[in-house]
Amino acid sequence: MPDGFQLPTDLVTDTRLFDPGDLDTDALARSGQLLRLRRRVEESQAKVRLHQDRLNELYEEIVRADIDAAGLQRLADEAVEKERSVAEQFLPEMEALREKLKSYPEAFSPDARQYFVEALNIGQAWITAWLKLHERLIKLAAERSAAGRRTLRAKPVKGEVDRAALTDKIITRFPNILKALAE
């Protein structure tokens, strides 16, 4: 494993799903507020797609780096920590938004409601991006671990086998076998 290979810290987002003022139903009634909310959702969707692309590129780089199973497990653990960090950031916002939408369903226009649902989906996408990287790293670690433990099988011999010569060859190569058999 290359020394010091770590998941970049700059991939953790500082994006907010919405501003607390976005939940002000009176402000949402003004058309400018809906436009601002739509722009925020579109920008967030673009950011999450870029984030997912960067994580996919990172995974491909990890595959090419030929990191062993233990190193992949360490990177998978880092991905879980980053997932938790992103979840700590977004889950309170997502829960507040869900609660507001559930408590006052008629307070928001269908357009505003749609933007908030998209914001919830975006928050979930930020979290699951790290989860998917974690799952892919675990799977790769399992594959590389299994490849290292591959059982080698002997090919069948064609023709006659001189068993006495073969036994002498094995015993000269591994003298401890003869001692163990003699005991």
Question: Is residue 47 situated within a structural domain?
Answer: yes
Q: What is the pLDDT of residues 133-171, one digit of tens each?
A: 999 999 999 888 876 666 667 788 788 888 888 888 887
Question: Is residue 118 situated within a structural domain?
Answer: yes
pLDDT band at 105 (very low <50, low <70, confident <90, very high): confident
Distance of alpha carbon 84 from alpha carbon 148, whole angstroms: 31
Q: Which domain holds residue 65?
A: 15-148
Question: Is residue 50 situated within a structural domain?
Answer: yes
Q: Tokens at residue 61, please?
A: 């780089």
Question: Residue 129's pLDDT is what?
Answer: 92
Question: Is residue 51 situated within a structural domain?
Answer: yes
Question: For residue 97, is pLDDT > 80?
Answer: yes
Question: For residue 4, is pLDDT > 70?
Answer: no
Question: Is residue 172 situated within a structural domain?
Answer: no
Q: What is the 3-state secondary structure (H, E, C) of 25-67?
A: HHHHHCHHHHHHHHHHHHHHHHHHHHHHHHHHHHHHHHHHCCC
- Supply the mean pLDDT for the chain: 80
pTM (two decimals):
0.67
Question: Is residue 166 situated within a structural domain?
Answer: no
Question: Is residue 179 situated within a structural domain?
Answer: no
Distance of alpha carbon 74 from alpha carbon 163, whole angstroms: 49
Question: Residue 3's pLDDT is what?
Answer: 45
Q: Which residue in the block uniquely carries the two structure tokens 């949402």?
A: 28
Distance of alpha carbon 75 from alpha carbon 137, whole angstroms: 7
For residue 62, count CB atoms less than 10 angstroms from its CB and return exposed for 0-12, middle for 13-18, buried for 19 or more.
Answer: buried
Question: Is residue 128 situated within a structural domain?
Answer: yes
Domain count, the chain: 1
CB 47 within 8 A of CB 15: yes
Question: Residue 104's pLDDT is what?
Answer: 74
Distance of alpha carbon 149 from alpha carbon 75, whole angstroms: 21
CB 162 within 8 A of CB 84: no
Q: Tokens at residue 143, please?
A: 């594959």
Question: For residue 76, is pLDDT > 60?
Answer: yes
Distance of alpha carbon 92 from alpha carbon 107, whole angstroms: 21
74-111 in b/e burial notation, b at 16+ Cβ within 10 A?
A: bbbebbbebbeebbebbeebbeebeebbeeeeebbeee
pLDDT band at 34 (very low <50, low <70, confident <90, very high): confident
Q: What is the pLDDT of residues 37-70, one digit of tens each?
A: 788 888 888 988 999 999 999 999 999 988 888 8
* Other Cβ atoms within 10 Å of 13 Cβ, number: 16
Question: Residue 75's pLDDT is what?
Answer: 93
